[in-house]
C-alpha cells in the first residue's frame, strides 16, 4: 500500500510542478490533493521518493521537483493515454481535412501539434524511396519535350520535363505518348520506385535503341508498328526509368520553435544547444527514427532527458509516433521535461491517426 501511496504522491508532484513550474512542498500537496494521509506521512513519502532519485530539491527549500527518473516513472505508470474530447477531435479532423495537397497536410499537422501541445512539432515526409508508383502520366510539351507526372502512393506528385532524342510532329508526339501511357503504367503501377525503374529499363532494352546499359538492340516488345519511332520510345522509357531510380533526400518540417523560447527557463543550462540541434534535419530524422525506446499506449514513444542521445537535446523530452501514407513515417513534439505528458501523448496519437486516414483516402 505504501508503494501505491508514494506513486500517488509522485503523480501529484509531477502534476503540480508541470502546472506551476514551482517546487512542490508537502503543505501544497495536502491542500491541492486528497491524499487521505497526514502531513508527516506525506513528508516521509517525499523523503523516500528523494532517496529513490525520483524527486530532488532544486535549492534549499521545502519544495521538490521531479527528476528525469521521476517523469519516467510517472509516464510508465500511466494506465492509459486519455482520449481527446469530441470537440478537440472534430477540430483536428476539420483542420486537417481542409488540406489541398501533401505539403499542406504536413504544414497543417506541425502547426496543429505545436498549438495543441505548446511544444515544437516535427513531422517527417513519407519516404519517396519506399513509395510505390500509383500512376505515370505523359503530356506532350513541344516537338522534342514531354512532361512526365509521377503520382506516388504517398500522395506526392512529381513533374519532370524529358527531352526526346529528336523532334516529332504534333501528331507523332501525341500518338507516341498515347501508346506509351498505358504500357508504362502496366509495367510500373504498384511497384516501388526502384523496382518500377528496373522493369522499365528492361523493357527499354526490348524496345531497341540500346539496353539499360546503353548497348545492343532488341527484337519485339515495341508499341504498334516496330519501325514507328522505336528509338524515341526506348529513349523516353529509359529517361522515365532514370527518374524513378533517383534517390531522394528524406525531408522533415518543423514548427513551433518559438514555444521553446517561451519555456527557456525550463532548460538546465541554455536553450541555445536545443535550437542549434533542431536546425539540423539529420537530427530531426534521427529523433523520429528512434522509436524503439520506451513504447507506451498505442505505439507512442516517450524519451525523457538523458534518454535522448542527440547532443544538445539531453534536457528535453520527445514524444513521437508513426503514421502511414504508402510508407511509414514519424511525427511528434519536443519540449522541456516539464511537460504535460498525458495531454501531449494523446494529441500526438490522435493527430497521427487523422493524418493516416487523410493520406490514405
Question: How many C-beta atoms lie closer than 10 Å to residue 146's C-beta?
Answer: 23
**Which structural domains are found in the chain, ordered by start?**
2-76 (1.10.10.10), 86-126+250-359 (3.30.450.40), 133-245 (3.30.390)
**What does the alpha-carbon distance between residue 45 and residue 2 come to, in Å, rounded to a whole number?**
8
CA distance 303 to 317: 6
Closest CA to 26 of 40, 36, 6, 11: 40
Give the per-residue pLDDT at 196.
Answer: 93
Sheet (strand 133-142) strand order: 133-142, 145-152, 157-163
d(CA 300, CA 293): 10
Give SS3 for 284.
helix
DSSP3 helix / strand / coil % (the chain, rounded to 5): 50, 20, 35
Q: What is the pLDDT of residue 101?
A: 84
Taking the CA atoms of residue 114, residue 155, residue 251 and residue 275 in that order, the dihedral angle to the nearest 10 degrees is: -10
C-alpha 91/C-alpha 333 separation (Å) is 19
**Of residues 59, 61, 77, the one with CA closest to residue 12:** 77
Report the 10 Å Cβ neighbour count for 65: 19
Task: Write out the chain's pLDDT in tens, 361 residues.
Answer: 478 888 999 999 999 999 998 999 988 888 888 888 888 998 899 999 999 999 998 876 668 999 999 999 999 888 677 778 888 889 999 999 898 888 899 999 999 999 999 999 999 988 776 778 999 999 999 989 999 999 888 777 889 999 998 898 888 888 888 889 999 999 999 998 889 999 999 999 888 644 434 343 344 444 544 346 788 899 999 999 999 988 777 788 999 999 988 887 887 667 888 888 888 878 888 878 766 545 555 678 999 998 888 878 888 999 999 888 766 788 999 999 999 999 999 999 999 999 998 887 7
pLDDT at residue number 34 = 82
CA 281, CA 38: separation in Å to the nearest integer?
A: 52
Note the pLDDT of residue 67: 95
Q: Round to whole Å and give the CA distance between 226 and 132.
A: 31
What is the model's pLDDT at position 126? Answer: 83
Q: What is the model's pTM?
A: 0.74
Cβ-based neighbours of 193, under 8 Å, separated by 6 or more:
128, 129, 131, 132, 133, 152, 244, 245
Q: Sign (positive/negative) of CA torsion 50, 54, 58, 64?
A: negative
Q: What pLDDT does residue 1 have?
A: 47
Q: In angstroms, rounded to a whole number, what is the distance separating the alpha carbons of residues 114 and 107?
A: 11
Amino acid at each position: 500500500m505504501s508503494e501505491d501511496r508514494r506513486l500517488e504522491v509522485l503523480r501529484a508532484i509531477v502534476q503540480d510542478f508541470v502546472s506551476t513550474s514551482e517546487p512542490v512542498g508537502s503543505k501544497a500537496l495536502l491542500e491541492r490533493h486528497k491524499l487521505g494521509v497526514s502531513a508527516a506521512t506525506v513528508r516521509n513519502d517525499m523523503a523516500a521518493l528523494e532517496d529513490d532519485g525520483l524527486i530532488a530539491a532544486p535549492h534549499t527549500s521545502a519544495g521538490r521537483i521531479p527528476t528525469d527518473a521521476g517523469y519516467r516513472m510517472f509516464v510508465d505508470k500511466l494506465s492509459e493515454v486519455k482520449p481527446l474530447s469530441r470537440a478537440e477531435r472534430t477540430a483536428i479532423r476539420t483542420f486537417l481535412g481542409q488540406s489541398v495537397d501533401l505539403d499542406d497536410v504536413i504544414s497543417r499537422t506541425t502547426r496543429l501539434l505545436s498549438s495543441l501541445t505548446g511544444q515544437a512539432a516535427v513531422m517527417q515526409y513519407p519516404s519517396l524511396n519506399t513509395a510505390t508508383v500509383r500512376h505515370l502520366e505523359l503530356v506532350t510539351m513541344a516537338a522534342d519535350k514531354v512532361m512526365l507526372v509521377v503520382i506516388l502512393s504517398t500522395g506526392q506528385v512529381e513533374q519532370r520535363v524529358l527531352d526526346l532524342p529528336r523532334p516529332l510532329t504534333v501528331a507523332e508526339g501525341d500518338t507516341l505518348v498515347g501508346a506509351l501511357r498505358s504500357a508504362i503504367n502496366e509495367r510500373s503501377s504498384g511497384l516501388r520506385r526502384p523496382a518500377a525503374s528496373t522493369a522499365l529499363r528492361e523493357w527499354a532494352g526490348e524496345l531497341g535503341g540500346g539496353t539499360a546499359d546503353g548497348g545492343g538492340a532488341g527484337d519485339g516488345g515495341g508499341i504498334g508498328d516496330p519501325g514507328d519511332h522505336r528509338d524515341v520510345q526506348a529513349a523516353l522509357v529509359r529517361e522515365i526509368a532514370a527518374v524513378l531510380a533517383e534517390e531522394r533526400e528524406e525531408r522533415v518540417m518543423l514548427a513551433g520553435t518559438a514555444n521553446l523560447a517561451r519555456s527557456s527557463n525550463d532548460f538546465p543550462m541554455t536553450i541555445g544547444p536545443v535550437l542549434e540541434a533542431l536546425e539540423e534535419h539529420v537530427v530531426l530524422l534521427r529523433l523520429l527514427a528512434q522509436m524503439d525506446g520506451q513504447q507506451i499506449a498505442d505505439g507512442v514513444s516517450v524519451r525523457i532527458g538523458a534518454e535522448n542521445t542527440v547532443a544538445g537535446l539531453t534536457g528535453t523530452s520527445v514524444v513521437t509516433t508513426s503514421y502511414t501514407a504508402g510508407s511509414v513515417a514519424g511525427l511528434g513534439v519536443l519540449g522541456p521535461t516539464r511537460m504535460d505528458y498525458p495531454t501531449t501523448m494523446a494529441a500526438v496519437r490522435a493527430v497521427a491517426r487523422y493524418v493516416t486516414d487523410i493520406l490514405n483516402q
